[in-house]
């Protein structure tokens, strides 16, 4: 088969780095996965002609047809529950929960069936499905549109829970999640949907179960994921002016937790803080601090800190700036340690 | 009769009086009460009778074994044989079945072995059979959740153009759950080839139907979703089988889902740990015992000369053999490997689980060594 000049030009254009948002990268990941594997189907509320409220599924129905991409009734337990049956029959459904707090009606299906099916059936039934949950705040959303539900999912055995923080990981990790034979809760930080990067697709970054050091430093390890990786990087840049060298780790995967990468960073710096938007009490940061302490206590120069949202329901949009962990709040927290900078 | 795909009017409310083909005395009925359905052929009825008798023998045996402490628990379906067997017999081995915890005798009818069916109740593992081999999902304990799985699998099969049907059972209590509503609605909107059987056995543990729903019949709910609902005498296996067979045929040719309510009664307690004398009258139980599904069909088969002493003896023997196999299966010491606890959580190995598995392995070895030392003294 010969390739025409126009096609070659199109291919060259496709492989050249172009600016892409995280939403665009996710869209491309879905499209590429669907093109490669006809078992992949996409459904949820408003994912068809509208292309999703964040346009992550934009154009997919037009390209792949209504048997591959369709609008479901408005019912999250129904979306996840039917996906269980579809995955049992050999499809690879990718379903959308539209907004974080809208996933709660599906809690029972996710926790009692999606997470447990493999175990209940002694490994005889795999559920290769992806539950996409746009998550977290800082987009001026009204109530129930800005929750961070990751601790619920991460504390459930049987689930894999990941959260990319940038367009390249968004593409690569979503492709890997769709390929996974284990069910994946794929959390997408809404405030990063419009962040851009120059990408040549397809891009493959680190395996989705590995954390990544995204900035090297020697004095402190800041651990973030999803939206707070940006917060950590901004804090690190500001701290540099004060002579503090901060290493930033992007967790990427919440379950499993990459003890190796994060532990190595902590042993290098001897100080760590974890940042997340969710409330502190019983939050994901508690797990991070506890397991890092268990394994690295004698390398620690200071207690592991948590810089998080308050222990309150997510606030109204006009007050969310006071709730969200900011770079300043991170720096203030670090200042609370006793530093021996002699 | 065969339900007509094009002309079926889903706005028609089910009959308030349950459809019947046989009355309590085993007489064949004609006219309005039958709802246009016809009595299945005599050979089919004889086979259904055989399955009911054998299943009851199994149920009685398992209840006895539970009282002996061989099973942790057992939800009996005594008295519900017509619903369970009449409906599950309407699907083929290629179709998929999504049962609840009370549907052991339907699983038996589906060809599963006693040891497979009872494994979870004995406490060995959550589920004892190969879902894909038997095209039968694990029993669901949370109410109505499995109905959505049945709808999803049916939709996937349709996308693959496989002409299979999915069947799922729910109890009367399960119809109050949100997942039941979502399953009915998704099935109707997507027109999936799904048959829902609501076994209305009058009680959700101790809560009576009147405190469960204000609907005249549970079959009425089908109309609201845009699918046909049938209100059927759940102790008349001829009617249950005829209605289910028509629903399965209609689903198979693209006619969409059907909701069937079988009106029956749970003769035994909810499980062995339940005390039904606290919430129901013995005269009600006696009333329902007089409407026994097996006796009703037996009277009909005898009157037609189809049930001979030879056949009766043969069925009894089959039942006794099954009871013996069930006792044997529950007497065997289960081979359990604690380390297998970690084997089926993820398809992809996880470091944390590998570490925890190793820790348990060490613990087991330490205990074994200590036991050997004690024995040597």
Convert the pLDDT of each residue in B305-360 to its tens digit.
999 999 999 999 999 999 999 999 999 878 899 999 999 999 999 999 999 999 99
B154 interfacial to chain A (CB closer than 8 Å): yes
Q: How buried is residue A272: exposed, middle or buried, by Cβ count under 10 Å (0-12/13-18/19+)?
A: buried
* Interchain CB distance below 8 Å, B351 and A180: no
The pair of structure tokens assigned to B183 is 């399953």
Percent of chain B with pLDDT strictly greater than 70: 98
What is the distance between the alpha carbons of residues A189 and A138, in angstroms, rounded to a whole number?
Answer: 10
Convert the pLDDT of each residue in B164-211 to its tens digit.
999 999 999 999 999 999 999 999 999 999 999 999 999 999 999 999
pLDDT at B377: 81
Asked if pLDDT for residue A1 goes beyond 90, the answer is: no
Per-residue pLDDT, averaged over A254-273, amounts to 98
Other C-beta atoms lying within 10 Å of the C-beta of residue A126: 18
Percent of chain A with pLDDT strictly greater than 90: 93
Convert the pLDDT of each residue in A105-161 to its tens digit.
999 999 999 999 999 999 999 999 999 999 999 999 999 999 999 999 999 999 999
What is the distance between the alpha carbons of residues A291 and A224, in angstroms, rounded to a whole number?
Answer: 16
Whole-complex ipTM: 0.94
Per-residue pLDDT, averaged over A293-306, amounts to 97
Give A-chain residues touching B155 at CB under 8 angstroms. 82, 85-86
Give B-chain residues touching A69 at CB under 8 angstroms. none
> Comparing C-alpha atoms, which of B299, B231, B242 is closest to residue B27?
B299
How wide is the angle at C-alpha B244 spanned by C-alphas B241 and B247, nearest 5°? 150
Name the pLDDT band for A342 (thresholds 50, 70, 90): very low
Give B-chain residues touching A122 at CB under 8 angstroms. 125-127, 344
> CA of A183: which chain B residue's CA is closest?
B346
Q: How buried is residue A336: exposed, middle or buried, by Cβ count under 10 Å (0-12/13-18/19+)?
A: exposed
Distance from CA of B353 to the nearest CA of A (A): 10
pLDDT at B253: 96
Asked if pLDDT for residue B246 goes beyond 60, the answer is: yes
pLDDT at A14: 58
Convert the pLDDT of each residue in A267-285 to its tens digit.
999 999 999 999 999 999 9
Percent of chain A with pLDDT strictly greater than 70: 95
Cβ contacts of B54 within 8 Å, gap of 6 or more:
B108, B315, B318, B319, B322
Tell me phi and psi for residue B56, to 5 degrees. -65, -40
Name the pLDDT band for B120 (thresholds 50, 70, 90): very high
Distance of CA A225 to the CA centre of its chain: 7
Mean pLDDT of chain B: 95
Asked if pLDDT for residue A260 goes beyond 70, the answer is: yes
Asked if pLDDT for residue A37 goes beyond 70, the answer is: yes
Rg (CA), chain B: 22
Distance of CA B115 to the CA centre of its chain: 17
Nearest neighbour of B138 by CB, restricted to A86, A121, A123 = A121
Which of helix, strand or coil describes residue B20? coil
Nearest neighbour of A83 by CB, restricted to B137, B150, B152 = B152
DSSP3 helix / strand / coil % (chain B, rounded to 5): 50, 10, 40
> CA of A113: which chain B residue's CA is closest?
B145
* Interchain CB distance below 8 Å, B126 and A160: no
Cβ contacts of A46 within 8 Å, gap of 6 or more:
A52, A53, A71, A98
Is B266 annotated as catalytic?
yes
Is A56 in contact with A30 (CB distance < 8 Å)? yes
Distance (Å) of CA A297 to CA A263, A267, A301, A335, B254: 11, 10, 9, 21, 64
Cβ contacts of A126 within 8 Å, gap of 6 or more:
A87, A117, A118, A181, A182, B347
Percent of chain B with pLDDT strictly greater than 90: 91
Helix (H) / strand (E) element for A230: namely helix A227-241
Helix (H) / strand (E) element for A176: namely helix A167-179
* Interchain CB distance below 8 Å, A84 and B148: yes
Tell me phi and psi for residue B243, to 5 degrees. -65, -45
pLDDT at A9: 53
What is the strand order of the sheet A130-135 is part of? Answer: A69-71, A40-44, A92-96, A130-135, A184-189, A160-162, A253-255
* Interchain CB distance below 8 Å, B148 and A120: no
DSSP letters, B176-238, are: GSHHHHHHHHHHHHHT-SEEEEEEE-SEETTEEGGGT--SS-GGGHHHHHTS-EEEEETT-HH
The B residues from 33 to 92 touching A (CB cutoff 8 Å) are none
Convert the pLDDT of each residue in B271-316 to its tens digit.
988 899 999 999 999 999 999 999 999 999 999 999 999 999 999 9
Give A-chain residues touching B124 at CB under 8 angstroms. none
Name the pLDDT band for B94 (thresholds 50, 70, 90): very high
pLDDT at B11: 81
The pair of structure tokens assigned to A290 is 């506890």
């Amino acid at each position: 088969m010969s390739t025409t000049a126009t096609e070659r030009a199109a291919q060259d254009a496709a492989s050249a780095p172009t600016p892409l948002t995280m939403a665009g990268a996710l869209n491309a990941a879905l499209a590429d996965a669907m093109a490669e594997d006809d078992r992949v189907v996409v459904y949820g509320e408003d994912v068809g002609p509208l292309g999703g409220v964040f346009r992550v599924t934009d154009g997919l129905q037009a390209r792949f047809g209504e048997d591959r991409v369709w609008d479901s009734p408005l019912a999250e337990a129904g979306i996840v529950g039917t996906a269980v049956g579809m995955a049992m029959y050999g499809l690879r459904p990718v379903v959308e929960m539209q907004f974080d707090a809208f996933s709660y009606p599906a809690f029972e299906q996710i926790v009692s069936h999606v997470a447990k099916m493999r175990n209940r059936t002694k490994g005889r039934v795999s559920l290769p499905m992806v539950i996409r949950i746009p998550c977290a705040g800082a987009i001026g959303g009204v109530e129930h549109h800005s929750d961070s539900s990751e601790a619920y999912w991460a504390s459930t055995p049987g689930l894999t829970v990941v959260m990319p923080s940038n367009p390249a990981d968004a593409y690569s990790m979503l492709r890997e999640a769709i390929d996974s034979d284990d069910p994946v809760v794929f959390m997408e930080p809404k405030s990063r949907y419009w962040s851009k990067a120059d990408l040549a697709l397809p891009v493959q970054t680190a395996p989705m179960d590995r954390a990544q050091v995204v900035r090297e430093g020697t004095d402190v390890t800041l651990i973030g994921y999803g939206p707070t990786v940006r917060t950590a990087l901004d804090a690190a840049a500001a701290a540099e002016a004060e002579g503090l060298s901060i290493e930033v780790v992007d967790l990427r995967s919440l379950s499993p937790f990459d003890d190796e990468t994060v532990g190595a960073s902590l042993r290098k710096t001897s100080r760590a803080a974890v940042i997340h938007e969710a409330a502190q009490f019983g939050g994901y940061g508690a797990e991070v601090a506890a397991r890092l302490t268990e394994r690295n206590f004698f390398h620690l120069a200071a207690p592991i800190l948590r810089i998080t949202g308050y222990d309150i329901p997510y606030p109204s949009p006009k007050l969310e700036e006071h709730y969200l962990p900011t770079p300043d709040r991170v720096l203030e927290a670090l200042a609370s340690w006793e530093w021996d900078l002699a | 009769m065969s339900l007509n795909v094009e002309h079926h009017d889903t706005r028609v409310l089910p009959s308030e009086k349950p459809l019947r083909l046989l009355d309590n005395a085993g007489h064949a009925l004609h006219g309005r009460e039958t709802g246009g359905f016809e009595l299945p052929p005599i050979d089919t009825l004889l086979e259904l009778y055989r399955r009911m008798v054998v299943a009851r023998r199994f149920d009685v045996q398992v209840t006895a074994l539970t009282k002996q402490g061989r099973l942790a628990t057992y939800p009996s379906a005594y008295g519900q044989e017509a619903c369970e067997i009449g409906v599950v017999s309407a699907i083929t081995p290629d179709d998929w079945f999504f049962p609840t915890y009370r549907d052991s005798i339907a699983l038996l009818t589906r060809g599963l072995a006693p040891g497979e069916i009872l494994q979870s109740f004995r406490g060995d593992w959550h589920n004892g059979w190969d879902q894909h081999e038997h095209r039968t999902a694990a029993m669901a304990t949370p109410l109505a959740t499995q109905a959505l799985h049945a709808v999803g699998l049916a939709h996937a099969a349709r996308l693959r153009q496989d002409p299979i049907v999915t069947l799922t059972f729910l109890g009367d209590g399960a119809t109050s759950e949100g997942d039941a509503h979502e399953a009915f609605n998704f099935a109707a909107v997507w027109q999936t080839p799904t048959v829902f059987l609501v076994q209305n056995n009058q009680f959700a543990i101790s809560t009576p139907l009147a405190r469960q729903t204000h609907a005249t019949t549970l079959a009425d709910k089908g109309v609201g979703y845009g699918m046909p609902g049938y209100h059927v005498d759940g102790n008349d296996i001829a009617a249950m089988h005829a209605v289910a067979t028509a629903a399965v045929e209609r689903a198979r040719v693209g006619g969409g889902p059907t909701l069937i309510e079988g009106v029956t009664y749970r003769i035994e307690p909810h499980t062995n740990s339940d005390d039904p004398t606290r919430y129901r009258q013995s005269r009600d139980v006696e009333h329902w015992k007089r409407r026994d599904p097996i006796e009703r069909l037996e009277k009909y088969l005898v009157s037609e000369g189809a049930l001979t002493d030879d056949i009766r003896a043969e069925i009894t023997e089959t039942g006794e053999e099954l009871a013996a196999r069930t006792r044997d299966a529950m007497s065997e010491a289960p081979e359990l490997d604690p380390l297998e606890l970690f084997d089926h959580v993820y398809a992809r190995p996880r470091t944390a689980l590998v570490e925890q598995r190793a820790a348990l392995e060490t613990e087991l070895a330490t205990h074994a060594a200590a036991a050997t030392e004690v024995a040597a003294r």
